[in-house]
Structure 1
């Protein structure tokens, strides 16, 4: 039996041609390479878990992640399938996150949304809410929390109903992955007091309470019971991804003083409340995701 290094080098040599083809100019060559790598690395002839982990993350992942932006829809679809196989099979999913999330947020988390395929948008949100959130520990999720929040906010506004539903269930998975508690480095920054804006610019930030049961709200609105200062501390870094510069201008009159984390938290709640209002599991989960009862 060969040494681990020999086994790794031998396996790399066997798939190197397909890895090189991921960067080929020919669309069909890229397509064949994606299909072969997915079937070969995660099928019946898959290598040992140790070799698979190292070879995929070191050799396959960098060129594969770039193909999430491939000009050919079929190639993007095959790339998502390859990444999902990896997220479901690797012993450690965390190394995937730094390379795939910058591309994913570029495709899904900006305005306009660049990914024009409804099915691929759905598959990407499902990839987050499925193996990524289920198999990654909270510290790893926190490193890409800004991107996840940005993608979810955009997904709640998607014209494809199934994506909105998937965003709601992914929000549930997110709240379950990050239980209440403080995490290092997630404290929000305080802004210096601002001068009061002109009177005509002052508005009140209000929310429409979600309907918990047929036509009525059970108790105080869930968002009213959230400790938004704590939520801002939890998501202070994350919410910076949601067009903070633009949003801060629009909410300046509403929150002339205080903590920017709280402002961002309020804006996130406002963005997701309409879509969550009739999805009870997501509402209940978010209701539980608070600092105090």
Structure 2
């Protein structure tokens, strides 16, 4: 059960004499395939003890995502509430947040589509206070989770497929449209770690035959929402990026492929042309 995401824990370690010895728990988690067993042990021990802790450990060893068990994820330094069945944000996806923030000005309009828990929009709002934030997802469970996360930063979450539930008043006004769309090819879903394959909705990872079905749909619809000079940002696999960039170009967006080798992250941005100066 290899862990699908990397996360560094800020909980106290066993060097603190008030914290019980976590070595047996670490060994159990490591034997189950948890790459970051020390961090996970600290998080679990800080969440529960006694029989309740044992139950959480048994469920984690059986493959349930740590974040679903404890009810939150640390995403790019922001705590994001998570409910069972909601997609767990991957640490590499913080690259999209950085690209988005770099493209925002004061009072910008941000839309987070396929928002899941709302992690992208929430983190953008923390780093760029004052944005007008909208998010949307087709899954009502994810929408409820995102509403809890985004209400404190003034975000509005809509229920529906891709851009369909967005209010008309946003057309032509969006400065950054960010979307962590599914991009795993259908045949590769079976090869994913069980914690994702068995505990996250398939629609959050399955992107069709080549993984880019939703990317193409989004590219075709984004230009009507983007402000002149606005940007669409998505994450892809490295081998998919140039195909995604071609889809952006076909939709009239100027594409750029971005790489973050340290995190193993690839993103594609597409900019709507600015209106010509009369």
The answer to whether TM tops 0.5 is: no
Which TM-score band applies after superposition, normalised by the shorter structure?
A: 0.3 to 0.5
More strand by share: 2
Query: TM-score normalised to the size of structure 1?
Result: 0.31
Query: TM-score normalised to the size of structure 2?
Result: 0.32
More helix by share: 1
